[in-house]
Structure 1
Amino acid sequence: MAPAASRGSSPALGARLRELRAEAGFDGKGVAALLGRQRSKISRLENGKQTAPPGDLDAWAAAVGRYPRPPT
């Protein structure tokens, strides 16, 4: 299996997701509930340990009031 970075996961992206979540006033549990995801998935995304597909990024941006998502 390829290393996480080559599969599209990114610590920088995860940090930005965490920043957006915090700015919106959510904790990990709250954003997980909004997205219908497990808290563990939110943690993996925010720590750059799991790939964030475009659909997840769009849902995240909408949940924290930043839709459409800003260009990266």
Structure 2
Amino acid sequence: MSTFERRRTRQIHIGNIPIGGGAPISVQSMCNTKTTDTEATVRQIRELAAAGCDIVRLAVPDMEAAKNLGNIIR
């Protein structure tokens, strides 16, 4: 079995979640709901968070979806 040295990376933060630079592995996922459907998207974000997800990504394919992000954040 060969060993190798891991490449050093610098740490960044997404919100208060550290990524890289020796930080623990973060669990992330992506919603499969339409970002324009506020209720379904928020429900799925809450389910992912309850399952231990640290970062949830959303698709924002158009301006309608972009404009709805404020509703989801609230």
Structure with the larger strand share: 2
The structure with the larger Rg is 2
Q: Could you state the TM-score of these two structures normalised by the residue count of structure 2?
A: 0.29
Q: Larger RCO: Structure 1 or Structure 2 (Cα < 8 Å, ≥ 6 residues apart)?
A: 1
